[in-house]
Structure formats: C-alpha cells, structure tokens
C-alpha cells in the first residue's frame, strides 16, 4: 500500500514520549487558523511512499528510541489515510516499535477504528472547548472530536491532549478549566500539553500566496502560559 507523505523527521523530541521517528502525512480537510503547515493541505502534494519504505527507514533509528520512543505519524491529517497508517503501524509492531498517532480526531469510521487497534498512544489536538470557535476557525464540530475521544476511552488507548494557546480565543482560565474537565471525564487521558501560538509560519503563507488569518493575533506571553499551566 502507498500513501502520500509530506516529510519525515528522523529523531523528533516533541512528537510523543521519548525520541520519535516522525512521519508527516500529506493532505488535510481542516483549515485551522493557527496551522503552521499550509503546505500539507493539498491532497495531491507530497511524495508517494510504501508502508515498507517508511518502516525500513524507522528501523535505522530503533536503537535511539529506548523504552519510550518509537514512530509518530502526524500531518496534515493522518486519519484521512487511515489504511496506509494502519499498515505502517502493523509493520512497526512486527519490529517491536511503539506507535503514536498525532491527530485532530476530525473523523471516525471503520478504517479509523482499525488504525486505532494498532495505535499505542494518541496525541489529540483539542483546539478549543467552544463549538462556535471550532466551526469558525477549524472547520469541523467539537462533538466529532469528543466522540473520537470517547472511543479512545472505551478502547483504553493512552491519550495526550494538546492545545495551542491563542490569545483572545482560548487563553482564558475558563477555557483551560473546561479542557481539564474534558480530560477528567476520560480515564485514558494521562497528560495535557499547552503549546504557545507562534507565527514563524507566516513566511510559508506569504510564499504560497495564502492569507494567514491569525497574522494580527499576538503570541502568548510566558506569564500567560505559566498561569494556564498551573491550572492544568
């Protein structure tokens, strides 16, 4: 089976536990205002690879993974190529490599369930805790994401919830308390990570001739991040 890949990072330290071999899939149905990788949106972009190609490359770095590391498949949105990612993860398990899925949780179907059956951990990006913000700045419904999380809870798949903190949109104590409530309702969630909104991606939008809709939103201060992390 082949899939469309945007890029690979051989040893990534921020894409799940330990050191990870990170694969970034090509194609995403969402249009998040804070997206750092608009170059991953096009489903026809990237390059075509087989699952075997990916795993052969990952095996080269297996000695660096230790007890916590492994492979992480991110995006774009990996759920859109669920069959391909499932095959990658199956082959990884055959090699004793831990598997991690970095996703928005924007869709659920039988192919996604099959993928989750060979997923050791999920990094779930819950972008907001408000339905209107999801509709306006993401392009899907928060209910879909929460249903995805409910399924992870049923299957007892460990979950790290991630949220990019964007001033004026989700940097309030109320939002973080709601995010914590979501986590507390799901025993599968064992970690919450708050990530500061950054605008280094502006150059990508400029080069692609695309408007970066969040260009006028400031980055959060260290003090704001510290305050919100203390709530978590």
Per-residue pLDDT of 7-29, as tens digits, reads: 999 999 999 999 999 999 999 99
| Domain 2-231 class in CATH | alpha beta
Domain boundaries, the chain: 2-231
Per-residue pLDDT of 154-183, as tens digits, reads: 999 999 999 999 999 999 999 999 999 999
Contact 33, 137 (CB under 8 A): yes
Contact 132, 166 (CB under 8 A): no
- CA 74-164-28 angle, 5° bins: 35
- CA 188-220-9 angle, 5° bins: 60
Per-residue pLDDT of 43-76, as tens digits, reads: 999 999 999 999 999 999 999 999 899 999 999 9
Q: Tell whether omega for the bond before 98 is within 30 degrees of 0, i.e. cis.
A: no
DSSP 78: G
Per-residue pLDDT of 98-156, as tens digits, reads: 999 999 999 999 999 999 999 999 999 999 999 999 999 999 999 999 999 999 999 99
Q: Which of 179, 58, 82 is nearest to 124 (CA)?
A: 179
* pTM for the structure as a whole: 0.96
Residue 180 has φ and ψ, to the nearest 5°, of -65, -40
């Amino acid at each position: 089976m082949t899939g469309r890949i945007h890029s690979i990072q051989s040893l990534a330290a921020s894409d799940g536990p330990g050191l990870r071999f990170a694969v970034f899939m090509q194609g995403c149905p969402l249009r998040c205002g804070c997206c750092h990788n608009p170059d991953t949106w096009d489903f026809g972009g990237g390059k075509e690879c087989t699952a075997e190609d990916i795993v052969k490359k990952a095996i080269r770095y297996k000695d660096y993974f230790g007890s916590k590391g492994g492979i992480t498949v991110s995006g774009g949105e990996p759920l859109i190529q669920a069959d391909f990612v499932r095959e990658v993860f199956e082959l990884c398990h055959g090699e004793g490599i831990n598997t991690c899925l970095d996703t928005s949780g924007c869709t659920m179907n039988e192919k996604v369930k099959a993928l989750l059956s060979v997923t050791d951990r999920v990094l779930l990006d819950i972008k907001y805790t408000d339905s209107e913000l999801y509709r306006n700045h993401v392009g899907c419904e928060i209910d879909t994401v929460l249903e995805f999380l409910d399924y992870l809870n049923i299957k007892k798949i460990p979950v790290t919830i991630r949220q990019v903190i964007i001033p004026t949109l989700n940097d309030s104590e109320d939002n973080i308390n709601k995010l914590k409530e979501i986590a507390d309702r799901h025993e599968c969630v064992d970690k919450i990570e708050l990530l500061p909104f950054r605008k280094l991606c502006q150059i990508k939008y400029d080069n692609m001739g695309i408007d970066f809709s969040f260009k006028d939103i400031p980055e959060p201060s260290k003090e704001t991040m510290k305050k919100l992390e203390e709530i978590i």
